[in-house]
Amino acid sequence: MPKIASAVVLSETDRNQLESWVRAQFTPQQVALRSRILLLAADGKQDLEIAGELNVNRHYSALWRKRFQTQGLDGVWEIQPGRVVSPRTMRTRWPP
């Protein structure tokens, strides 16, 4: 029997904020994706449905569902620093 994910309940202000992040031109793509996940979860979709619709792993949607419940909107905007690829490295590796 499949596990049912816990419901995400959004206030009107939270929903409006997530929708504005999805629409905004300069929102980082990882934040926009997280916002889409949470909006779909609030509409009652399960993690597997969200994963299929957004082409992500179901564990990723479950992670952000849980993180929103513990940290709220502040957790959605949290961006981890990534590795920087130098132009020299790109020239030697790309095109593959």
Type and span of the H or E element at 34: helix 29-42
pLDDT tens track for 3-44? 777 778 888 999 999 999 999 988 888 899 999 999 999 998
pLDDT at 23: 93
pLDDT tens track for 35-94? 999 999 999 899 999 999 999 998 999 999 999 999 888 888 887 776 655 555 545 555
Q: How far apart are CA 24 and CA 54, in angstroms?
A: 18
